[in-house]
Structure 1
């Protein structure tokens, strides 16, 4: 009799232990009864019927991160590049995520690859850098729509890297360098013209223009010689400051008559046509 009671007690204890299921916070579990979906277990203490009920899945409903490795894509202007992305997602309805798709994480990954290639295929390669935020929004909208039937919510998508071929990067760097040199040359030329204009204006107001010109030419002459001497392949160049000074003086001078008009224009005070 005692052995029967002991056996019965063991059965009761085993049944009780087998019927108790504790689900951790942030997780949920699915219960099938005789092979069919029965109910969902929430965090805390839960009871099931041993040998009749079985837990087929326990998974987290917290936000998860899916890192999609770099994949090749072809842009609108037929440039092959590689791009990768990170997807943040969470399960809203565990039963739909389990019964609607074989592998929900693999399904999201394949959707990301297809959508990312499609988005890059509609852009030129130079637009992919400035339109990354637009690409992220496109991916998020399309993935959220596609995964809604799976009971999944895609909360955010971030395209991490877009890597064109090394040859294209080198070409783009050379183009940027050429543009920078061009802008520098234009700025230098504009500065030179402005300097010449200011010097000419200042010289016209000076009574001793010739002396000032001689001083400026001598200064430039010394500076030029210093630069030539610093060059590793220096050469000897003879310059005639006097000749340069005379040439500039001739350019600065404007022949006028004592009456203050240019004789080449014709007419003037006292020279009108006789009537």
Structure 2
């Protein structure tokens, strides 16, 4: 049985139809978006899954990765505001949100984003002093993120993070900074020591002032007591009572002898004492004692001894 031309055409048509169907069926993996171009013009975007296009009329334009991606920023030298040269590198994280814009609004997406990030790093960090640059890394990252994300927005890109990894000043500048830090720490230590010495001196002066005040107060109290005693004796003398005067003189005399005898710098004391004065004073003390015992009702009557007369210096008894 021979094959006719129709028998040959049918298999060929079936194979051709299958090829056309397979050509029009497109499978998009998860995390990607494909753009479709018809005669070179963008028509639609294929989402992840099974999609159909018109064979030989539509074709896949760009396969865009919609996942968050990492862009490594190479090391570059930056001149700060105070003319210090530092080497800086970083990293940027971005994500494509609009596949057609990322595919058709910019040529070479990663290269454009890399140059944009490097340029803004030089701009932002070049406007700062070295000390501010080293101490405000979080503020630098935030400012870079805001500037780069705003510039990349027309490309359908969302910059999620920009981080400065390393800031490396020259070796001589690092040594200068270390010496400056040590000098600053020494300065703070000297200031603290001076403050401590000042406080100690203030406390010591306040202690001396308090002690002087208390000594003066004690002397004032003693003077008041002495004045009071003198007033009492004066009033007693004015009333004709000489016993208080004898007691007062004997007490002062005894205290003076006690101070002279207890002095450590004297071994022998030569004093011109008149016996009559001393006997008279002691007689006054004995008279006071007799008066006390005579007025005491509980004691038994005793023979009163005659009071020795007061002998003044220069007189004979």
Please give the range of the TM-score, normalised by the shorter of the 2 chains: 0.5 to 0.7
Which has the larger Rg? Answer: 2
Equivalent-residue separation in structure 2 for 1:147 and 1:189 (angstroms): 57
8 Å Cα contact 2:77-2:87 kept in structure 1: yes
1:179 paired residue number: 184
Checking the alignment, whether the CA contact within 8 Å between 2:66 and 2:96 is kept in structure 1 is yes
Shift of 1:182: 3.0
2:64 maps to 59
Q: Which residue of 2 aligns with 1:90?
A: 95
Residue 194 of structure 1: how far off its partner (Å) = 6.3
2-structure distance, mates of 1:186, 1:10:
94
Q: How high is the TM-score relative to the length of structure 2?
A: 0.59
2:74 paired with 1:69: yes
Residues 188-203 of structure 1 correspond to what in structure 2 (within 5 A)? 188=193, 191=196
Instruction: State the number of aligned residues.
Output: 209
Shift of 1:183: 2.8
Alignment of 1:232-251 (within 5 A): none
Alpha-carbon distance between aligned partners in 1 of 2:71 and 2:189, rounded to the nearest angstrom: 46
Alignment match, 2:155:
150
Q: Which residue of 1 aligns with 2:11?
A: 6
Shift of 1:128: 0.4
> Alignment partner of 2:107: what SS?
coil
Q: 1:144 to 1:8 in 2, by over 3 A?
A: same
Q: Taking structure 1 as reference, are residues 197 and 140 closer, same or farther at Cα in structure 2, changes over 3 Å only?
A: closer
Q: Unpaired runs of 5+ in structure 1?
A: 204-258, 261-275
How many angstroms apart in 2 are the aligned matches of 1:136 and 1:193?
45
Aligned to 2:139: 134
- Give CA-to-partner distance per residue, 1:224-268, whole Å, 9 cap, x none: xxxxxxxxxxxxxxxxxxxxxxxxxxxxxxxxxxx99xxxxxxxx
Distance 2:95 2:69 in 1: 6
Q: Which has the higher helix share?
A: 2
CA distance in 2, matches of 1:106, 1:43: 26
Q: CA 1:185–1:29 in structure 2 vs 1: closer, same or farther (change >3 Å)?
A: same
State the 1:187 CA deviation: 3.7
Q: Which runs of 4+ in 1 moved over 4 A?
A: 188-203
Secondary structure, in 3 states, of the residue corresponding to 1:156?
Answer: strand
Equivalent of residue 169 in structure 1, options 144, 161, 174: 174
Q: 1:20 aligns with which of 15, 25, 42?
A: 25
Please give the alpha-carbon distance, in whole angstroms, between the structure 1 residues aligned to 2:199 and 2:144: 53
Alpha-carbon RMSD across the aligned residues, in angstroms, is 2.6
Q: Which moved more, 1:114-123 or 1:131-140?
A: 131-140
Bigger relative CO (Cα 8 Å, ≥ 6 apart): 1
1:188 Cα shift? 4.3
Q: 1:78 aligns with which of 83, 91, 103?
A: 83
Task: Provide the C-alpha distance between the structure 2 equivalents of 1:146 and 1:188, rounded to a whole number of angstroms.
Answer: 54
Q: For residues 166 and 108 of structure 1, what CA distance do their matches in structure 2 show?
A: 32
Residue 52 (structure 1) shift:
1.6
In 2, Cα distance between the equivalents of 1:31 and 1:96? 13
Residue 102 (structure 1) aligned with residue 98 (structure 2): no
1:181, CA displacement in angstroms?
2.6
1:119 is aligned to 2:127: no
Structure 1 residue matching 2:130: 3-state secondary structure = coil
State the TM-score, normalizing by the size of structure 1: 0.68
Distance apart, 1:78 and its partner CA = 0.8
- Per-residue CA deviations over 1:123-171 (Å, capped at 9, x if unaligned) read 1111002222221222112112211111111122112211111111111
Render the CA deviation track for 1:55-85: whole Å, top value 9, x for unaligned: 1211211111111011111111111111122
